[in-house]
Amino acid sequence: MAPALTPAQAATIKATVPVLAQYGEIITTKFYADLLASNPSLKNIFNTTHQATGHQPRALAGALYAYAANIDNLGALSPAVELICHKHASLYIQPHHYEIVGTNLLATIKAVLGDAATPDIMDAWAAAYWQLADLMIAREAQLYAEAPNWTDWKDFRIARKERESDEITSFYFEPVEEGFEVPVYRPGQYISVNVFVDELDGGVWQARQYSLSDAPGKGYLRISVKKEGGVDLGDAAASKAHAGYISNILHEKKEVGDVVRLSHPYGDFFYEKEEADEESPVVLVSAGVGITPLMSILSHLTANEPKRPITWIHAARNAQVRAFKPHIDGLAAANKNLKTVLFTADPSDDEVQGEHYDVKGRLDLEKLGKERLYAGHDKTQYYTCGPTQFMLDVEAKLNSFGVPSERIKMELFGTGGIPRV
């Protein structure tokens, strides 16, 4: 464990905020390029798409800026740190990775800033880096300790592969290891799926996170994956630059009986029953493939908490791409506590309002009003998942109805965090 950051060093870090605003992305872009060139094995960990598009350098630059700006109030970063630690755990990041990253990051800061990176500044950043690294290593150790029987990638076999819509297919995974029991995860969490990509740099492993889309405790793990259009699996460039490349491998190349490597379930977005509270409402709001973690929560709630009022709200382009509708209709018919509202942005000519969808147009909570959203109930829990701007719009509308942000939980796919600045 590194020595504690001194007040003088914290002041030095704070003073570098303008420098990070100007040079942050230059530093992180060079950092990743140099890191992967000198440590090619790390290509098996880092998302090549995020590297090719510049998404990961931008995210790290933003994280460094936020860390420096809040160096004297790290509590403000706790949600972001928790999100990152779960992501790291799902990739099986280890303490020695922090050594490699720290050495390279500090070297890059020095190389980019040159003489401006004085010994005092470099000492302060070294102390600041290890302050954060020690915190994250400790949290990740706790997460690993919670999964003692699953401490590395584990082989699972695809037991079923079911089409849910024109874009989404569900994959049911069962453990290859005889006698291994699938853990009971928290509804809403995700797993990492690790596949080998021949087309990349002579062949590398690539991991992607997919939400578990069924209730826990069923003896299998299910994910429901959207296939992105316009991906050519034979195009080596697409393997680096297209965000849907791995999902296309799953759809097109992985069949029943095939074995893939999975991580233990992780994720800081999940439903958690509040103590001594069995009747407060839950509102689930999703768009597109954001439906997947909320399906896990919905299936869990309807099976285990029949007294709890549930409102299910989903937005899709049309009936062809809306997944799980027959299953959701069945749940609504069997559970009087469940009310559903389906928005369809662009219904096809053969779609009937009241049968295939409820409201035409993009999702607009104003059309539902406070009462149907249980906005007047001071214990209502809200969960939302979809594109980032969609989630922020949902939060803003609920805020306008008097719902505080602490009762609104949002899921985020990819690198980074929900922007609030």
* Residue 263 and residue 175 in contact, taking contact as beta carbons nearer than 8 Å: no
Q: Of the candidates 49, 74, 73, which has an alpha carbon nearest to the alpha carbon of residue 59?
A: 49
Which helix (H) or strand (E) segment is 81 a member of? helix 78-90
Q: Which helix (H) or strand (E) holds 175?
A: strand 168-175
- Closest C-alpha to 382, from 392, 374, 390: 374
Angle at 98 between CA 97 and CA 104, to 5 degrees: 95
Three-state DSSP class for 193?
strand
Of these residues, 32, 92, 140, 411, which one is catalytic? 140
Listed residue (415, 335, 409) closest to 187, CA to CA: 409
User: CB 358: neighbour CB atoms within 10 A?
Assistant: 16
Identified catalytic residue from 67, 92, 98, 190: 98
DSSP secondary structure string for all residues of 204-236: EEEEEEEEB-S-SSSSSEEEEEEPPSS--TT-H
Residue 143 burial by CB count (10 A; 0-12/13-18/19+): exposed, middle or buried? middle
Q: How far apart are CA 59 and CA 47, in angstroms?
A: 13
Place of tokens 């609504």: 332
Residue pair 201/236 in contact (Cβ under 8 Å)? The answer is no
The span from the CA of 239 to the CA of 262, in Å, is 20
DSSP codes, 280-346: --EEEEEEGGGHHHHHHHHHHHHHH-TTS-EEEEEEES-TTT--SHHHHHHHHHH-TTEEEEEEESS
Helix (H) or strand (E) holding 29: helix 17-38
Residue 4 sits at φ, ψ, to 5 deg, of: -65, 145
Write the single-letter amino acid at 58. R
- The verdict on whether 357 is a catalytic residue reads no
Judge whether 140 counts as a catalytic residue: yes
Provide the annotated active-site residues: 98, 140
